[in-house]
Amino acid sequence: MKFLPAAFGFFILAPAAAQDSMGIHYKVYDTRSKQIVAIDKIVADMANADVLFFGEEHNDSTGHYLQNKLFRALHTAYGDKLALSMEMFESDNQLALNEYLAGLMNEDRFAKDVRLWSNYKDYRPMVDYAKQNKLSVIAANPPRRYVSLVTRRGRKALDSLSKEAKTFLPPLPYDTLSGRYRDKFMETMRGAPESASKNIYYSQSLWDAGMSYRIYRFWKKNKDKKIFHCVGKFHTDEKLGTAAQLLMRNKKIRILNISCFPDKSFANPDPIAIGWGKFEHLGDYVILTNFDLKRTY
């Protein structure tokens, strides 16, 4: 499929929005070209990337709409050379997820066998689309019970797990990324009861290490495929967290990241005057969504 060059990113917004009933509720900014662009620009840029992180706020209705729209557009462009990766599934549920995608169980059985998020309805369209089109879906997150174990007892508690249990985790000991990411996390957690324990950051790091490992493992076996990873934006903003952990596993992996969130500045009638500079550090693309739209929960 043919794409317009980046220099015309601003102009391709209008026809895209005209065909998109939700187009009035989001603005996509390419932080490298410093232009408002359409979703097609992201799809085109993926020709030179391996992994695209879509950093979301979990209750952003427009963000979920865009995830599904982008996933379908990527499939149109890259066909079966595309895989979906999700924070929303835990690694020990990969078999059940695969069986559901293969049509070996119905959705009711799937819901019983897999620990679905309470807002699974927000992600169902992508999973159903992957099922219909026989696309792989990676259950990327470490099992929550092991994350909770680290919160309670620290990283060393994982050493006592069985060999089978450890197959659902990244190789131990996992990295905890000091510096900017840790500072951001502790600032975010300031005042929360859990913040008194350093283990809470080790838990966060296990999420990141686990997701990066699942993505890396799939990429290593399928280097011809593009991976679209959906995740809470804190995990990948500034290409820290999961993104940084992935690059530590192999610096040759080519990544792009999106930071998508509702913001009050969206209401500015002039999209150029929003002041994108305050957001540019967050990712390759920043997507602002309509702050006034109802959240999904």
Task: Please name which of 28, 22, 80, 10 lies closest in space to residue 260, comparing C-alpha atoms.
Answer: 28
pLDDT band at 199 (very low <50, low <70, confident <90, very high): very high
For the record, the structure tokens of 168 come out as 């659902």
> What is the value of pTM for the model shown?
0.92
Q: Are 155 and 201 in contact (CB under 8 A)?
A: no
What pLDDT shows up at residue 7? 35
Residue 57, CA distances (Å) to 13, 22, 63, 217, 289 in order? 23, 17, 7, 26, 11
**Domains within the chain, CATH numbers bracketed:** 6-290 (3.40.50.11550)
What pLDDT shows up at residue 4? 36
Angle at 212 (CA atoms; ends 154, 115), nearest 5 degrees: 70
Q: Pick the residue with more confidence: 151 or 5?
A: 151
For residue 260, what are the β-bridge partners?
Answer: 287
What mean pLDDT is predicted for residues 259-277? 91
Span between the terminal Cα atoms of the chain, in Å: 37
Residue 77, H or E segment: helix 61-78
What pLDDT shows up at residue 130? 98
Only one residue has tokens 């957001």, namely: 279
Q: Pick the residue with more confidence: 189 or 92?
A: 92
CB neighbour burial string for 169-187, b if at least 16 within 10 angstroms, e if fewer:
bbeeebebbeeebbeebee
Alpha-carbon distance of 33 to 230, in angstroms, equals 24
Alpha-carbon distance of 242 to 235, in angstroms, equals 6
Is the pLDDT assigned to residue 15 strictly greater than 60? no
CA torsion 187-193-194-197 (nearest 10°) is 90
Secondary structure letter of residue 294 according to DSSP: P
Alpha-carbon distance of 264 to 124, in angstroms, equals 28
For the record, the structure tokens of 30 come out as 């390419």
Is the pLDDT assigned to residue 273 strictly greater than 90? no
Secondary structure letter of residue 36 according to DSSP: E
Q: What is the mean pLDDT of the chain?
A: 92
In terms of C-beta density within 10 A (0-12 exposed, 13-18 middle, 19 or more buried), how is residue 134 classed?
A: exposed
What pLDDT shows up at residue 193? 67
Residue-wise pLDDT tens digits, 57-74: 999 999 999 999 999 999
Is the pLDDT assigned to residue 190 strictly greater than 90? no
